[in-house]
Amino acid sequence: MDQPQSFDGADVPDPPAGGSPERATLMGTLAHLWPYIWPGDRFDLKMRVVWSLVLLLAAKLITLAVPFSFKWATDALTGADTAPVAADNWHLWVIASPLLLTASYGAMRIMMAVLTQWRDGIFARVAMHAVRKLATITFIHMHELSLRFHLERKTGGLTRVLERGREGIEVIVRMVILQLIPTIVEVSLLMAVLLWQFDWRYVVATLITVTVYMYYTYIATEWRIGIRRKMNDSDTEANTKAIDSLLNYETVKYFSAEAREAQRYDRSVARYEEASVHTYTSLAVLNTGQAVIFTLGLTATMLMCAIGVRNGTNTVGDFVLVNAMMIQLYQPLNFMGMVYREIKQAIIDIEKMFGVLHREAEIKDAPDARPLAVTAGTVRFEDVRFAYEPTRPILKGISFEVPAGKTVAIVGPSGAGKSTISRLLFRLYDVSGGKILIDGQDIRAVTQDSLRASIGMVPQDTVLFNDTIRYNIRYGRWDASDAEVEEAARLAQIDHFIRMAPKGYETQVGERGLKLSGGEKQRVAIARTVLKAPPILVLDEATSALDTHTEHEIQGALDRVARNRTSLVIAHRLSTIVGADEIIVLDQGRIAERGTHANLLAQGGLYASMWNRQREAEAAREKLAQMADSSEAPNREPPPVDDALTAPAAAE
């Protein structure tokens, strides 16, 4: 018995290569799919393909024999001279018995069905393995694409591309092997039988019928392709809007925008409704035309045979035979039309999936890339230049060094390029000019896996997986034990809160971690980084979205994590980086000032101005808070802090 094969990455081939996927073709699609239908490392699947083809041929031979048993039974019942009856030979009489011939007709139909279903069952493993493997490759490739790609795409649209592409692959694999090839074989054999059993006129009439039928099917299907594209586009749009709205559930509630969101979604669904109606209407037109064309061909061949019966050149059995064969031809012909429609529609469904596969990864390992060897952890930026768009440079020649075990902070106004620095260090983008070195090694010359394994990140906006707290902390180091996970949580000062929850570490955090408060999510992110234990740490405005009380608690945990590590801190609140070994002030993509907190204040420049503004804002907030406190009852209880884990849901 075949066992499901796991994917560890080693057996996943490269994404299909080729030209532009904008208008995928059947042959191009089959060329991409063939390595998955006939995998070089799976002998068992190859044998399934071979055995399926053997059963296919056997089933089609029996299919052609079915109308003959019908003819012989009819001739035997009518007593036609051509029926194989000999009164003095009892065994020939038995063979020619109408009852036996009728029974054989039923037996052959049963055998035909059994062989066909047996073939389908055997080939199912091949088809679904191809679907699974190519879907996995696409999923992996999506993760390999750059941050730029994902910022330009919508999550709902991408998931629909993957879903429809997976379904389209299944349709093509199953249709080509289980429908298209059998139909071609059956039509070819049937033409040969018509020529042998009747004459060339029947073949010509049948060929004309098939040709006109297929031409009409082609024209009508091509017309329907544009309608199908519109339906798919409107479906993707509606799905994207639904996901976008649900992900922003709280924002919708804040602004009482349920009705507006419903109208926005309804407009998209209305476009899908209109396109769907056109799709089904065009399908009715296609089916009607096909039925008319085939019926005319069927009538022509039966008229010729009826004339032959009247002239004595054919028997009633021949009349039944030609009718049965033409009716039997209708099924594969109808399949041909359906196969063509389904394959064309499946190609439309997967062309965007192939578009993703053909999208080159912006960030790639160099052919001779080697693992990063971190000896001390010194990070150096040398004349680094970068632009998301060529016409809008972000960094304009940045040079600085973060010595091993030291902390360097990056501050500056919004849009100065602070967060871009962390993205470049993580190599989510490559620099446009200059270079970034870690212990003297250009990060473009080392493998991405080793680079990112050496850097820990605590971002401003922590997004968690919709799983348990234990799962999210263990994400930092997947082979960590439960004891190590809990120790990391203790160091991040979240262990106490977790144990207060009824399910403890098995508490579900909800979509994107929305069941936790902002402070709790940040602590989970810190615990994850503690568990990873990287030699280099990046804090990208890790406390800017938190209240002052929570910020102080989180800052203490961050200070413990950063101790004895090379730390690059990107800060919005200057009070969090006063103890940094060096503070770099960015302005419009350049280093405007640098030095310690005291030195920068003494310079009275941009940093001092930012510091004074923040201090004034904090003083104003404190004054307002004191005024609010004095107006309230003196015996009020203080509000709970970070109690999300003990409540059904919490929001900061």
> Which of 315-324, 406-415, 476-485, 615-624 has the weakest average pLDDT?
615-624
Task: Specify whether the CB–CB gap between 72 and 84 falls below 8 A.
Answer: yes
Structure confidence at residue 20 (pLDDT)? 41
Mean pLDDT of 506-526: 79
Topology (CATH) of 26-358: ABC transporter transmembrane region fold (1.20.1560)
The predicted structure's pLDDT at residue 435: 92
The whole-number pLDDT of residue 24 equals 61
Tell me the pTM. 0.61
Mean pLDDT of 437-461: 88
Picking from 301-310, 625-634, 635-644, which range would have the lowest pLDDT averaged per residue?
635-644
Give me the pLDDT at residue 442, please. 92
Taking the C-alpha atoms of residue 648 and residue 403, their distance in angstroms, rounded to an integer, is: 45
Do 375 and 367 touch, CB atoms closer than 8 A?
Answer: no
Q: How far is CA 221 from CA 207, 210, 226, 227, 270, in A?
A: 21, 16, 9, 10, 24
Structure tokens at 511: 């979509």
Across 74-83, 371-380, 447-456, least confident range: 74-83
Residues 379-631, CATH architecture: 3-Layer(aba) Sandwich (3.40)
How far apart (Å, rounded) are the C-alpha atoms in residues 554 and 519? 7
Condensed to tens digits (0 to 9), the pLDDT of residues 563-600 reads 778 889 888 778 888 888 999 999 888 899 999 999 99
Taking all residues of the chain, what is their mean pLDDT, rounded to a whole number? 78
Inter-helix orientation angle 316-358/258-311, to 10°: 150
Q: What is the pLDDT of residue 90?
A: 41
CA quadruple 118, 119, 121, 122: dihedral, nearest 10: 110
pLDDT attached to residue 4: 38
* pLDDT over 70 (residue 214): yes
Report which listed range, 308-322, 471-485, 638-652, is most confident.
471-485
**Angstrom distances, CA of residue 530 to CA of 392, 467, 471, 533, 534:** 37, 19, 14, 5, 8
Enumerate residues 6+ apart whose C-beta is below 8 A from 428.
Answer: 146, 147, 363
Distance of CA 631 to the CA centre of its chain: 56
pLDDT reported for residue 438: 93
What is the model's pLDDT at position 502? 83
Whether residue 71 has pLDDT greater than 90: no
More confident residue, 108 or 646: 108
Which conformational region is residue 415 in: left (phi greater than 0), alpha (psi within -120 to 50 degrees), or beta? left
Residue 32 confidence (pLDDT) above 80:
no
- What is the pLDDT at residue 154? 56
